[in-house]
Amino acid sequence: MKIAIKNMVCPRCIQAVSQVFASMDIVPLDVRLGEVILAAPLTQEQQQHLQQKLSDIGFELLDDQQQQLVERIKSIVIEHVHQQEDNHFVFTEVLQTALNKEYSQLSKLFSEKEGITIEQYVILQRMEKVKELLSYNELTLSEIAYKLGYSSVAYLSAQFKKVTGLTPSQFKRLGINLRKPIDQLST
C-alpha cells in the first residue's frame, strides 16, 4: 500500500516520517520523498493517528490523486536539483519516464494546482540550490553553473538576477538570510 505525504523534501524529512511510523510500531517497506510503502493497509484508527502525528511535524497525508501526482512531480524535481551530483538532464524526459505520463498532461495539471509551470518550479529550485552553494563559498560561479546544468555563467547570472533581484556576487555579500525553504517555493 502506498501512502502519499505532502512536504517531504529532503533526507531529514524521510527520517522524521520514518520516526513517526516507528513510534506507531509500523515498519514500512520503503520511505522516500513524498511516499511511504507499507506491506498492509492501515486501519482507520491508525490512519487518523498517523495524520495527526504527521501534521504535528509539518506533513500532510494526501488522498487526492491529482495532488499526489503534483507532489510526486515536486519530489522528483527536488531530488534531481538538490541531491544529484550532475544536473545535465532534461526534466521533460525525467518526469515522463518516472511517471509514465505525457509531459503536456503533467504540465497542465501542475500549472492548475500550483499556479506556476513546472519550468518555473525547476528554476526556483535551481536558484535555491545556487544560493546554497554560494553561501558555502566552496565553488566558483563557473563550477556552480556547470554543476547545475547551465550552459554558461552569464545565463545562470541573468536567471539568478531575474528571480532574486540580485546578482550572485550581491547575494554573497548580503549573506544566507535570503534563502527560502525548498518546500515553500511555489507558494
Query: What is the DSSP track for 117-132?
Result: -HHHHHHHHHHHHHHH
For 5-27, what is each residue's pLDDT tens digit? 988 888 899 999 999 999 999 99
- Domain 64-187, CATH homologous superfamily name and number: Homeodomain-like (1.10.10.60)
Q: Say yes or no to pLDDT of 187 above 60.
A: no
pLDDT at 173: 86
Distances (CA, A) of 1 to 46, 60, 110, 145: 14, 17, 24, 40
Mean confidence (pLDDT) of the chain: 90
Q: What average pLDDT does the segment 93-120 reach?
A: 95
For 46-62, what is each residue's pLDDT tens digit? 999 999 999 999 999 88
For 148-184, what is each residue's pLDDT tens digit? 989 999 999 999 999 999 999 999 888 756 666 666 6
Cβ within 8 Å of residue 131, ≥6 positions away: 164, 171, 176, 178, 179
**Domain assignments of the chain as residue spans, ordered by start:** 2-62, 64-187
* Residue 154 φ then ψ, to 5°: -60, -40
DSSP strands (E only) in the chain: 2-6, 30-32, 35-37, 60-62
Q: What average pLDDT does the segment 119-126 reach?
A: 94
36 SS3 class: strand
Q: Say yes or no to pLDDT of 85 above 80.
A: no
Which of 3.40.50, 1.10.287, 3.30.70, 2.80.10 is the CATH number of 2-62? Answer: 3.30.70
pLDDT at 180: 63
Distances (CA, A) of 186 to 115, 128, 167, 174: 8, 12, 22, 24
